[in-house]
């Protein structure tokens, strides 16, 4: 099915609308955007509060980031 048969600007507009609808649905269903925003803020806060020496010796890995998701 071709849902984008016009110019690039029309295709972009159609795609943008579809993404917006999908994000709204996921936010209502499971608060996806809220959870992800909280995770990003938590990671940013943690990185910001690290001292320079901690940054050099830190093992800030994907596992650590994944552990924050459970919060």
Average pLDDT of the segment spanning 50-62: 61
Rounded alpha-carbon distances, angstroms, from residue 9 to 13, 20, 33, 63, 71: 6, 16, 26, 40, 40
Per the structure block, which two tokens stand in for 44?
A: 């940013």
Q: Where would I find the H helices in 31-61?
A: 32-49, 52-57
Quote the pLDDT of residue 10. Answer: 81
Checking if the pLDDT of 56 tops 70, the result is no
The Cα 47–Cα 6 span in angstroms is 45
Write the CB contacts of 70 (distance below 8 Å, at least 6 apart in sequence).
none
What are the tens digits of pLDDT across the range 20-36?
Answer: 999 999 999 999 999 99
Domain ranges of the chain: 31-71
Q: What is the C-alpha to C-alpha distance for residues 17 and 2, in angstroms, rounded to an integer? A: 16
């Amino acid at each position: 099915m071709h849902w984008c048969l016009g110019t690039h600007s029309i295709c972009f507009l159609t795609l943008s609308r579809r993404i917006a609808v999908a994000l709204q649905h996921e936010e209502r269903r499971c608060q996806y955007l809220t959870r992800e925003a909280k995770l990003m803020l938590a990671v940013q806060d943690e990185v910001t509060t690290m001292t320079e020496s901690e940054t050099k010796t830190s093992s800030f890995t994907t596992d650590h980031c994944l552990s924050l998701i459970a919060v």
